[in-house]
Chain A
Amino acid sequence: DIVMTQGVLPNPVPSGESASITCRSSKSLVYKDGKTYLNWFLQRPGQSPQLLTYWMSTRASGVSDRFSGSGSGTYFTLKISRVRAEDAGVYYCQQVREYPLTFGSGTKLEIK
């Protein structure tokens, strides 16, 4: 199985600042079509997860352009610009490169 390892944020992050969440995979997530099969989700307190980005850097419908995904084949970053109170929650990365699909352990973002 592909192991997903997420970093820890130095919480809390002041409102208006930027935050970068990292995720590493134990195997390249680049498929033969050239796409990188890495998703990011946000789970706000008491809510279901919400898809933020797919194919590493493509924002899901309705997601603010303050969220941007980037990375290589095995190292990924989700950058949140000008953080707001509504961005607080736990962020999960997920690889969908191969079965079984696997998630990272989550990174908590707190806003000051």
Chain B
Amino acid sequence: EVQLVESGGGLVQPGASLKLSCVASGFTFSDYWMSWVRQTPGKTMEWIGDIKYDGSYTNYAPSLKNRFTISRDNAKSTLYLQMSNVRSEDTATYYCTRDKVGADYWGQGVMVTVSS
């Protein structure tokens, strides 16, 4: 059974950094592109970026490229999202997804709240 389990969220102060993790199981992690998507409290869905199966290439939403970094450790079947200089508008539920012809599996999501 394919599973994606995100962790690392919580309450964080504006300007701080945070690293989210997503542990994958039930499939060969190194065969798939992976992505991060976030959903705001108002339910707006925003694609953050993706990473090639071997970690050699990434794409980002232009508005987030300078603050967010996606990486992966195929030996640990883990996807990461490094967030820096977070702002109140980064408050959202963050999902990792497995990408085939579309985001065919999603994690349960992890909440990040940016507030002082």
- A interface with B by C-beta (< 8 Å): 1, 39, 41, 48-51, 54-55, 58, 60-61, 90, 92, 94, 96, 99-103, 105-106
Contacts and interface: CB of A to CB of B under 8 A. Distances in A.
Contacts, number: 48
B116 interface: no
Contact of A100 (B43, B59, B101, B107): B59
24 contacts: A48-B95, A48-B106, A48-B107, A48-B109, A49-B45, A50-B106, A54-B101, A55-B101, A60-B102, A60-B104, A92-B45, A94-B45, A94-B47, A94-B102, A94-B103, A96-B102, A99-B59, A100-B47, A100-B59, A100-B60, A100-B61, A100-B62, A101-B50, A106-B43
Interface of B: 43-47, 50, 59-62, 95, 101-104, 106-109
